[in-house]
Structure 1
Amino acid sequence: MEFAEVVRRRRMVRDYDPDRPVPSDVRDRLLEHAIRAPSAGFSQGWAFLVLETPEERERFWTATTDGGAPDGWLTRMRRAPLLIVPMSDKSAYLDRYAEPDKGWTDRDEARWPVPYWDVDTGMASLLMLLTAVDEGLGACFFGIPPERLTAFHEVFGVPAGFRPVGCVSVGYPGDGDRRSPSLRRGRRGIEEVVHRGRW
């Protein structure tokens, strides 16, 4: 598929065929492409938790939801056969920029007006979303509620320094997938968001 077509087709898929697992070679390509994302200082401060078995996925949903009756969104999302949780590691960036070739001798977080550890991990996530489209699958990036992060870390033994920037669900789109009502707002045009020369 041409790159422009991949970008045009990219959308968030919120329902999956539970009977069609993601082939292992496709899963591996998602991850191989993710680690090709740019990172400040080539710090590569990311990690990816892959959840494929029904038991692993159930533990994820139990840890990250309130345990009440699932609504339609959650019911459909729980059908995804593959979940990948991209996590950022701030310390990898602070350590890297304290190395001699970067000129800083401290690990002062104030030097970072933008948390590039999260930005770079987000870019890795986008590469997974685009790869899923190129492979004929659907994917969705969604957040983990902040009040559920402690439970997530405990259930999966994630070290404290690693912060999930979200979760990427992947699979073959299901029959219940439909366009988000948010899309009724329409896509903002170039003329609305691009400022040339000055604001």
Structure 2
Amino acid sequence: MPQINYYFSVLSPFTYLSGLRLEEIAAKHGADIQYKPLDIMALFARTGGTPPKDRHPNRIDYRMQELVRAATKTGLPMNFNPAHWPTNAAPASYAIIAAANAGGGDLGALCHSVLRAVWAEEKDIAQDDVIAQCLVAAGYEASLINSGMLTGAEQYGRNLEEAIDAGAFGAPFYITDGDARFWGHDRLDDLDAHLSGDL
């Protein structure tokens, strides 16, 4: 079974705009997804990236145009200046890690629900009630918020180190078990073609 290591940030607009396409591609090819939320600002700092707020105005303007185009193409609702961004990504990321360890729900739906909360629903994903709603909607127990904090924190740190060691530098970043690397929601077609043997 092919494996896809999926490095992402729950704050990333481009991760949100990937929707559930990764899950659809994985199902098509019988691939297993390893969900690896990470600290995107730490990843930028370690790999030569710049936080969005510190970029040159030309890059900031272009990023916004890209977001508008991508949202239009995907049809996903999006607030381009959400009320709770940036926020503390750690609690929701820990909950995703706890859910992955617990099993029994839909991890892809959970991740997308958290991202949708930021980019379409004007919710603060650092708040326990918001995280609980996302967990329950995806088939998990709300109690995972509290039960996996230590393990989640440790794995969150390891995910960052793994991402750097594997060659990731942004989010979303998809890496196959054959070390084929794909950066960005707009590279999902390439990932699909790669898994088909066409690329």
Q: TM-score range by the shorter chain?
A: under 0.3
Bigger Cα Rg: 1
TM-score by length of 1: 0.27
**Structure ranking higher on relative contact order (CA contacts 8 Å, 6+ apart):** 1
Q: Quick check: which one's strand share is greater?
A: 1
